[in-house]
Structure 1
Amino acid sequence: MPTDAWGRPSLSVVISAGQPRDKNSRVREVAVVVHGLTDSEKRDGILFVYEDMRRTKELARLPLRESIAEENLGSIKVPTGLKFDPTWWRPDSFPTGNITYYSNIRVLNRVVVEGCLRVQPRWMEELLPEIRRLALFDMAIPSTHQSGAYKIFKGQNIVNRYRDCQEEDVFTQLLYGIRALDLRPAATKNASSAYEGFDYWIYHHRFPTKNSVKSILEDVRSFLDLFPNEVVFVDFHEFPSGFKNSSSFRGLEKLVVEVLGHHIYTKDRTYPAFATLENVVQGGKRAIVTFERNDDLKDRYYSGIRHIWGNTDKLDKLKRIITDRQIQWKHQRWFFNAMAQTTAQGAWSVISDKYRGGVRGIAHRDNFDISTWFRHDRDARTYSNFIAVDYFLSTDIVDLCKDINLERAHT
């Protein structure tokens, strides 16, 4: 479906990941992603960008025929030349709707599609009247890959090039509409810690991020407290360092319970894959916590969300793997997450930066192709469950998942 859930053209304002190897070209550049325009609208349309919805200050005016940077399956991406600073909002200070960069496309002065950069902290609540009967397993859930590996971009080096996968902190990710977190915790010994003698930090493989698991869980709690009709998945995956005995897992559980407490969806409730969105919201237990390795926790928690990991730097191969696994796993009734990113292959490719800009450069190259593929390809769309991306603001992943959920609710 090349348009929104109702067959109309749609426009999303996105923030490009950018290309650090080319003098940070297009890093955090405002762009628009548009679906459903006709060929004549692409030829004759003009993109207008304003500071806000009031249109008091015009920031850009771009003829589409001269400005389209990428086109895939009929969808287009248009960079604007404008830059958007990083956003790290806190529970006591955040926006709730449209932020900035109101954009529309006009043909002969007629607006054919419009949109704005916005946060979507209540999208489940807003769609609840229509999607309330969908089981969680039957929903499309917008996710981030390596959700805890976030850092504001201040230039690249050989470590952060392949360590950092997001730029927004977790509270801000949730505000923008992300609803599933992929967390890779490491346990470090600290005799004075209240958590069985361990502190917990996010790692990306062997590389520490200096982002603490506790602060991330506090972000989740704050979000759930503020938005009582939203559901968040917290998936602990991989455990890259320090989990060598049961006490390290007990300490992590103690931390999770201390911070998320009454929000945790407990095992005495309906099997979560079968639970409807309405039932979970009404039950009040809206943090669905899962552990990939849960031998020590299996009596109290569900096993981890399964990851579809292509482990390839070839887009076509990644798409085939995702399609095949989604079709296979859709019949097994447990959550799965399509890791929708290509991956650097081999140590030398990382050292030499073969992919020009590490994770950020790969996301800049591939994210438009991947997100439009999920939108247009029937099997990718039909069998999707969770979809996780790097540098999520460079995609329209939240709008895509909303459209898929509306489509499923009405079929």
Structure 2
Amino acid sequence: MAVSWYALAVLATTALGASIAPTKDQFLEGSMCGRVWITIHSPAIQRTLAPNLLDAIELNWDFNGCSTIPKQIGLFSNRPLSWNNALETYPLNSVEGYIITNTSLGEGALPGGWLTGPGRKGPHCLWPWVAAGDVQILAYNCLKIQPTWMEDNGDKINRLRIGELAIAGTHNAGAWKFNTEVSTASRDSFVLCQDRSIWAQLVHGIRYFDFRVAYYEFYQNEDDRYWLNHNLIRVRPLVPLLKEIRTFLDNTREVVFLDAHHFPIGFYDTDGRPIRQVHEGLIELVQRELGPHMANAVNFATEPGSRGPTLKTLLDADKRLLFSYVDNTIVRENNFLWPNLPHLWANTNCPTELFQYLDQAITVSPQPTALSPLYSAMAQTTPTVLDILFLRGSLRANADDVNRNVTSRLVTRWRQYANIVSSDFFLGNDVIDVSIALNIERGSSRL
């Protein structure tokens, strides 16, 4: 089998067809033509004679442009070497598509020593693998973590400016599991947007975090007053999540983008004026926890409409945390803050309208007068008030309706222009691996 590295040449027009850099004794992804990959089904699957199936494994394929199409696809628990080792197999009857298996990912423990702290560099496979072929296996891949992907590919991407990067991000990143006095629930319909911790998101390869910070004065300890919310609903205290980011930055050479995107409670008076002491408290908190890694905007930012500093510039200065702030009034008073970055938000519960909006908005971003070199495509639909009141659908079902098309769009229509792509339940798409490949494609043109 001819196996290539993550490289420009293997990014076909409609199929990624790439290979992840291998460990010493194995390749993690390979294909003669086309590509297979694993995603995780975000909604629970209802079953009548058995408990609901959570986190079902999905097998995806795209063989557009290939002269032949494999006849079958299968799920494996280790590197696929023979069809005799397949856990499940399915016939392939289309050039591209997906199959939802009857197997759950389970806990999805992080490999490579990354479960609770820093581990080994490079990509590492979780247990599920996918393969497609005929008698022989012609394409294979695994569900992987990419904890050090920027460093792993530094020789190819470090000349890129931050506005030229393709970055996988999470919408409402802190809304992954309740941690309040009344709830520790990990699944609900309309509040939780993720199902992995901030640490796990970083380890998987997420580099942009959309935080919605609220302030509750009734807590006695000042640190305890800052929370991550989904709109008006408290989800998790902020400080422990900042400590997870600090541990990650202390032990890697990755660049992380933290965005204080919304302040739903406690930051503004009823007349809309900012409450300075609350904003200052948040800024001091972030400086205390992340200060040694913070890239002060005044030292690195460029003119409006520019694409910002290169990765190399940030790495050479060893300043790898960029903190964007939605309120430019506060930004002007604190020159280390990065200005509000545009969020391309369709504000629709219709997937068709979402993609129509993003297809147009991404191609004209960033605007020439934009203060930030970054912008985020908010690749999720938004439930209406009636959807929530009448329990129509759920955030998990909504994510399932769009995530596969997010992967496809990033390979095709958004490929040239996309910067940050923020999604719900990110394991339901392949944005991390595709973004890495696109960065190598873009970086290769600069060599």
TM-score normalised by the chain length of structure 1: 0.87
Q: 1:278 to 1:216 in 2, by over 3 A?
A: same
1:309-350 deviation line (CA, Å, top 9, x unaligned): 1011222221121122222323436211000011112x2221
Per-residue deviation at 1:202?
Answer: 0.8
Q: Which has the higher contact order (CA 8 A, sep 6+)?
A: 1
Specify every segment of 5 or more residues in structure 1 that has no aligned partner in the other structure, as ranges.
none
1:93-124 deviation line (CA, Å, top 9, x unaligned): 76761121122112231x22111111100111
Residue type matched to 1:123 in 2? Answer: W
Per-residue deviation at 1:400?
Answer: 1.4
Specify every segment of 5 or more residues in structure 2 that has no aligned partner in the other structure, as ranges.
1-12, 19-31, 179-183, 269-274
Equivalent residue, structure 2, for 1:330: 366
SS of structure 1 residue aligned to 2:61: strand
Comparing 366-375 with 255-264, greater Cα deviation is found at: 366-375
Aligned equivalents of 2:172, 2:286: Cα separation in 1: 18
Per-residue deviation at 1:38?
Answer: 5.9
SS of structure 2 residue aligned to 1:313: coil
- Name the Cα RMSD after superposition: 2.7
Q: Is the 2:214–2:264 contact (alpha carbons within 8 Å) kept by the matching residues of 1?
A: yes
- The structure with the greater share of residues assigned to helix is 1
SS of structure 2 residue aligned to 1:269: helix
Structure 1 residue 143 corresponds to structure 2 residue 169: yes
Per-residue deviation at 1:154?
Answer: 6.1
Q: Is the 2:77–2:87 contact (alpha carbons within 8 Å) kept by the matching residues of 1?
A: no
Equivalent residue, structure 1, for 2:264: 240
Equivalent residue, structure 1, for 2:37: 12
Q: Is the 2:406–2:431 contact (alpha carbons within 8 Å) kept by the matching residues of 1?
A: no
Equivalent residue, structure 2, for 1:35: 62
Per-residue deviation at 1:172?
Answer: 0.2
1:103-162 deviation line (CA, Å, top 9, x unaligned): 2112231x2211111110011111111111111101111001110000289685xxx311
Per-residue deviation at 1:16?
Answer: 1.2
Structure 1 residue 58 corresponds to structure 2 residue 85: yes
Q: Is the 2:212–2:264 contact (alpha carbons within 8 Å) kept by the matching residues of 1?
A: yes
- The structure with the greater share of residues assigned to strand is 1
Equivalent residue, structure 2, for 1:268: 298
Equivalent residue, structure 1, for 2:418: 384
| Percent identity (aligned) | 22
Q: Is the 1:139–1:405 contact (alpha carbons within 8 Å) kept by the matching residues of 2?
A: yes
1:153-194 deviation line (CA, Å, top 9, x unaligned): 9685xxx31100000000100100000000001011156434
How many aligned residue pairs are there? 391
Structure 1 residue 83 corresponds to structure 2 residue 104: yes
Structural mapping, 1:362-401, within 5 Å: 362-377=398-413, 380-401=414-435
Equivalent residue, structure 1, for 2:8: none
Structural mapping, 1:300-339, within 5 Å: 300=335, 301-332=337-368, 334-339=373-378
Residue type matched to 1:339 in 2? Answer: M
Aligned equivalents of 2:249, 2:116: Cα separation in 1: 11
Aligned equivalents of 1:167, 1:410: Cα separation in 2: 34
Comparing 290-299 with 128-137, greater Cα deviation is found at: 290-299
Structure 1 residue 49 corresponds to structure 2 residue 75: yes
Residue from 141, 145, 157 that aligns with 1:131: 157
Residue type matched to 1:259 in 2? Answer: E
Residue from 207, 211, 214 that aligns with 1:186: 214
1:73-101 deviation line (CA, Å, top 9, x unaligned): x5322222210124476543767611211
Aligned equivalents of 2:33, 2:81: Cα separation in 1: 23
Q: 1:40 to 1:326 in 2, by over 3 A?
A: closer
Aligned equivalents of 1:325, 1:54: Cα separation in 2: 41
Q: Is the 2:205–2:432 contact (alpha carbons within 8 Å) kept by the matching residues of 1?
A: yes
SS of structure 2 residue aligned to 1:100: strand
SS of structure 1 residue aligned to 2:285: helix
